[in-house]
A and B are shown apart, each in its own frame.
Chain A
Amino acid sequence: MDLFLDGFAWIFDPAHLSGPGGIWARIAEQLSYTFGAVAIAAVIAIPLGLWIGHTGRGRDIAVLSSGGLRALPSLGLLIIFALGIGIGFKAPLLTFVILAIPSLLSGAYAGVEAVDKRTVDAARAQGMTEWQVLTKVELPLGLPLLIGGIRSGVLQVVATATLAYFASGGALGVFINDGLKTRDYAELIGASIVVTALALVLEGIFALLQRLFVPRGVTAGQITEVRSRPVRPRAVVGSPIQEGK
Chain B
Amino acid sequence: MNWVVNNLGLIWSLTLDHVALAVPPIILGFLISIPIGWVANRFHASRGVLLTISGLLYTVPSLPLFIALPAILGTGILDPINVVVGLTIYAVALMVRSVADALAAVDAGVRQAATAMGYSAWQRFWRVEFPLAGPVLLAGLRVVSVSTVSLVSIGSVVGVSSLGYLFLNGLQRNIIEEVASGIVATLVIAVVFDLLLVLAGRVLLPWAKADPTARRARRKTVETAIAGPSAGGSAVDDPAVSDPSMAGR
A interface residue numbers (CB < 8 A to B): 1, 3-4, 63, 66-67, 70-77, 79-80, 82-84, 102-103, 106-107, 110, 114, 144-145, 148-149, 151-153, 155-156, 158-160, 162-163, 166, 173, 176, 179-180, 185, 188-189, 191-193, 195-196, 199-200, 203, 206-207, 210, 222-223, 225-232, 244-245
Given contacts A75-B157, A223-B237, A229-B242, contact A103 B44 (CB under 8 A): no
- B67 CB–A CB distance under 8 Å: yes
- B17 CB–A CB distance under 8 Å: no
- B228 CB–A CB distance under 8 Å: yes
* A-B CB contact pairs (8 Å), 23 listed: A73-B163, A73-B164, A76-B182, A76-B183, A79-B167, A79-B170, A106-B226, A149-B228, A152-B228, A152-B231, A159-B61, A162-B64, A180-B158, A189-B71, A199-B59, A203-B59, A206-B230, A223-B239, A226-B47, A228-B108, A229-B108, A231-B109, A231-B244
- B118 CB–A CB distance under 8 Å: no
Cα-based distance from A145 to B220 in the complex (angstroms)? 12
Q: Which one of B23-31, B146-154, B201-209 is at the A interface?
A: B146-154
Are B227 and A110 in contact, CB atoms less than 8 angstroms apart?
A: yes
Cα-based distance from A207 to B60 in the complex (angstroms)? 16
Are A70 and B147 in contact, CB atoms less than 8 angstroms apart?
A: yes
5 tightest A-B contacts by CB? A152-B228, A192-B64, A148-B231, A159-B61, A231-B109
Residues of B with C-beta under 8 A to A79: 167-168, 170-171, 179
Cα-based distance from A13 to B186 in the complex (angstroms)? 40
Looking at A156, A158, A199, A226, the one whose CB has the most chain B CB atoms below 10 A away is A226
Give the secondary structure class of A's interface: helix
Cβ proximity bits B91-106 to A, threshold 8 Å, 1 near / 0 not: 0000000000000111
Cβ proximity bits B135-173 to A, threshold 8 Å, 1 near / 0 not: 000000000001101110110111000011011101100
Q: Of B104, B149, B167, B187, which contacts A75 at CB under 8 A?
A: B167
Residues of B with C-beta under 8 A to A245: 245, 248
- B9 CB–A CB distance under 8 Å: no
Tally of B interface residues using CB under 8 Å: 70
Residues of B with C-beta under 8 A to A110: 223, 227, 231, 233
- B79 CB–A CB distance under 8 Å: no
Are B187 and A71 in contact, CB atoms less than 8 angstroms apart?
A: yes
Are A196 and B61 in contact, CB atoms less than 8 angstroms apart?
A: yes
Chain A: CB-nearest residue to B43: A227
Residues of A with C-beta under 8 A to B65: 192, 196
Are B222 and A63 in contact, CB atoms less than 8 angstroms apart?
A: yes
Minimum C-beta distance from A4 to chain B (A):
7
Are B230 and A155 in contact, CB atoms less than 8 angstroms apart?
A: yes
Cα-based distance from A191 to B154 in the complex (angstroms)? 16
Cα-based distance from A79 to B178 in the complex (angstroms)? 11
Q: Of B63, B166, B183, which contacts A77 at CB under 8 A?
A: B183
Are A199 and B176 in contact, CB atoms less than 8 angstroms apart?
A: no
Are A244 and B248 in contact, CB atoms less than 8 angstroms apart?
A: yes
Are A189 and B245 in contact, CB atoms less than 8 angstroms apart?
A: no
Residues of A with C-beta under 8 A to B186: 71-73, 76
Residues of B with C-beta under 8 A to A189: 67-68, 71
Are A229 and B243 in contact, CB atoms less than 8 angstroms apart?
A: yes
Are A200 and B232 in contact, CB atoms less than 8 angstroms apart?
A: no
Cβ proximity bits B50-70 to A, threshold 8 Å, 1 near / 0 not: 000001100111111101100
